[in-house]
Structure formats: C-alpha cells, structure tokens
C-alpha cells in the first residue's frame, strides 16, 4: 500500500486526484496540502466528502512528505512545483506533476509562453514528460501532459509518426469546458459571459502550443509548426478537439484508419470510434475517443478527439502515470464508465 500526498487539494484537479486515489486499491492518501483552509477538515471545506475522510488540510511540509509518503502529486498552477519540488528531484523521490513547470525542455521557450522563469536545465532533464497512452513512466519525476496537449497529441500521433500528412497543413480547433480554466474567478469565467455563449481566447498564445510542438518534433524531425486555437464552451467538463490535415501524396483513408488501429491496438484508454465522438461519451472517464472523416475532394482528413479535461486531461492520466511508475496495471483505479 503506497502512501500518497497531494499538493493543491482545493483545486479541481487536486480534488479529482483525491477522488481517484481514494478508491485506488494500492493507495492511501495520508496528507493533503493547500495555501487556503489550512487546519480545516477536508470534509468541512468540501461536504461531498463527509463521512469519507478525516484528513485535515495542511501547510506544505516537504520533510513530512519524505518521511511519511511514497509519492506526491502536485495538482498546482504553474510556478509552484518549480519552487517546491526541487528537493524531491534531487533525492529521486517519486513525483507526479500536473502543472506545466517541467513539460518544456527549453528554458527560453518556457519564459516566452509561461511568462515566468524556468528551473535550471539540470532539473528539467531529470523530469520525464510522459503521454501515458504512448509512453512509459520510468523516471521518478513525471511531468503530466496538459489537457489540450493530450487530446491533440493522441489525435495526431499516427499521422505524424508515420509521415502520413503534409506536416505544414496541421490546423487544430480546440474547445474546453469551464473547469479547464481552474477556480480563479475572472470576467471571462462569469456565468453571464459563459452561459449560452462561446468565445475564443489566447489566440496563437496558449501555453500548450509549445508543449504540442515539442512532442510532434520528437515524433517527426521534419515538423515545424501548427495552427492552434482554443475556445471556451458552456460546459463544466470536457475537451473537444477538431484537427484538420492534408494527407500526403499517395496516402489513402484506409491506410490512415489502419495506422490508428495499429497505433492504439493495445491501449485501453484510447478508442477509435466508428462514428464521430461527443463529449458525453467520455465524461467522468480516462478515455480519449477519436473519430475520423476524409473528404477526397479537398484531401482533408478531419480528426475529432474528446476527453474529460479533469480525468484524461489531468488527474486520470496522472494516476495512469503513477500506475506505470510503480509497476501496477495502468488501469488500476481508473475503470469508470461514462457518466450519463
């Protein structure tokens, strides 16, 4: 039984991590940390946990974690783990980091996109960016992929890895529910502005763009750039990504379809659908559902990928990475059917 600590328990991803790990058969959550509500019982702050836990929210204590726990989850906003996690990296203590602090390997790229100073290269190279459905968590420090990046990379992986498309043709239109913005209030997240509305934001400036580009470049050195836009839609949970690409000369739809089936043949949490997926197909699950459509007139392939941003896009993939790191069945604690 692994003893776990969660930092950032009061955020959406932190609460989702706690919910998943509470039912994980090989885990006991023994410490939860935050910068607010310290000294209060978790169940008093979040009544949905009444009768389920006696844990008290605490101020972060690095030494307590090292002495009492086997691993720690950082469900924090960017800029936190790069300050709090360095001791864990130095000691090789297992960390699953849901923030963006260790995803990018180029400090200058981090400064540009996160408007913040990155950590030393020494620490960056000790972290492993791991897209759980296409990789294997092996290093003690795991940088969990972002939600938009997860849905986009899973959608594009077979095409880019096998050079099936014109690499300069990638256009991605990504839409997210409101929980993807976190709990911080803003005018953009006000009910009046979100309800019955749709708005595009961070045009050509979203921090997941370099993360996506970095991995696509790993898969295919000829890749250079993509067009990527993000929109906010009036739903609580979900990422809906529509990707448009031109197939390479001589490549047909059947070849593409077989490439997807082969790429994800043994991947429990990626489903290639016979019809176009919708958000409700994956709500509350760790699945990524992918649908394909080809227009022979324009030679454009449309790839639709949907995930629950708090599950596959955050806590679910984090638990999947934890399972890989500790040698468990990667599905452990994650076998949920979609919510109706």
pLDDT tens readout for residues 149-191? 999 999 999 999 999 999 999 999 999 988 766 556 566 566 6
Question: Are 61 and 80 members of one domain?
Answer: yes
Question: Are 129 and 194 members of one domain?
Answer: no
**What CATH number should be reported for the domain holding residue 49?**
3.40.50.720
Is residue 272 in a domain?
yes
For the four alpha carbons of 57, 58, 60 and 61, in that order, the dihedral sign comes to negative
Contact 33, 5 (CB under 8 A): yes
Mean pLDDT calculated for residue range 90-104: 95
Is residue 334 in a domain?
no
The reply to whether 147 belongs to the active site is yes
Confidence (pTM): 0.94
The per-residue pLDDT for range 119-137, each reduced to its tens digit, is 777 888 899 999 999 999 9
The per-residue pLDDT for range 213-239, each reduced to its tens digit, is 999 999 999 999 999 999 999 998 999
- The pLDDT assigned to 297 comes to 97
Is residue 288 in a domain?
yes
Residue 138, domain extent: 2-145+312-325
Question: Are 162 and 301 members of one domain?
Answer: yes
Report, in this order, helix, strand and coil percent for the chain, each rounded to 5. Answer: 35, 20, 45
From 17, 38, 69, 147, the catalytic residue: 147
- The pLDDT assigned to 42 comes to 97
Mean pLDDT calculated for residue range 298-308: 98
Is residue 266 in a domain?
yes
Residues 234 and 109: their CA atoms lie apart, in Å, by: 31
Question: Are 135 and 188 members of one domain?
Answer: no
Lowest mean pLDDT among 35-49, 169-183, 249-263, 313-327: 169-183
């Amino acid at each position: 039984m692994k003893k776990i600590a969660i930092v950032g328990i009061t955020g959406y991803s932190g609460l989702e991590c706690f919910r998943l790990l509470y039912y994980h058969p090989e885990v006991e959550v023994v410490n939860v940390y935050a910068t607010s509500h310290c000294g209060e019982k978790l169940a008093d702050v979040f009544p949905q946990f009444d009768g389920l836990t006696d844990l008290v929210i605490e101020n972060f204590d690095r030494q307590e974690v090292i002495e009492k726990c086997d691993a720690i989850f950082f469900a924090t906003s960017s800029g936190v783990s790069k300050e709090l996690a360095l001791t864990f990296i130095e000691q090789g203590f297992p960390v699953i980091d849901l923030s963006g602090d260790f995803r990018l390997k180029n400090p200058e790229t981090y400064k540009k996109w996160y408007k913040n100073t990155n950590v030393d290269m020494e620490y960056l190279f000790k972290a492993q960016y791991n897209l759980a459905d296409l990789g294997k968590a092996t290093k003690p420090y795991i940088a969990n992929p972002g939600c938009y990046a997860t849905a986009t990379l899973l959608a594009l992986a077979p095409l880019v890895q096998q050079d099936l498309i014109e690499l300069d043709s990638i256009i991605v239109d990504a839409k997210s529910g409101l929980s993807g913005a976190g709990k911080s209030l803003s005018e953009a997240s006000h009910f009046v502005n979100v309800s019955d509305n749709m708005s595009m934001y961070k045009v050509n400036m979203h921090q997941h763009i370099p993360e996506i580009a970095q991995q696509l470049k790993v898969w295919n050195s000829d890749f250079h750039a993509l067009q990527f836009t993000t929109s906010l839609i009036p739903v609580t949970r979900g990422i809906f990504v529509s990707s448009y690409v031109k197939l390479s000369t001589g490549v047909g739809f059947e070849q593409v379809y077989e490439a997807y089936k082969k790429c994800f043949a043994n991947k429990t949490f990626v489903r290639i659908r016979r019809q176009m997926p919708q958000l409700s197909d994956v709500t509350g699950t760790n699945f990524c559902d992918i649908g394909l459509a080809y227009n022979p007139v324009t030679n454009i392939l449309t790839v639709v990928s949907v995930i629950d941003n708090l599950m596959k896009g955050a806590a679910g993939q984090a638990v999947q990475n934890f399972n890989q790191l500790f040698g468990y069945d990667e599905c452990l604690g994650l076998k949920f059917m979609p919510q109706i």
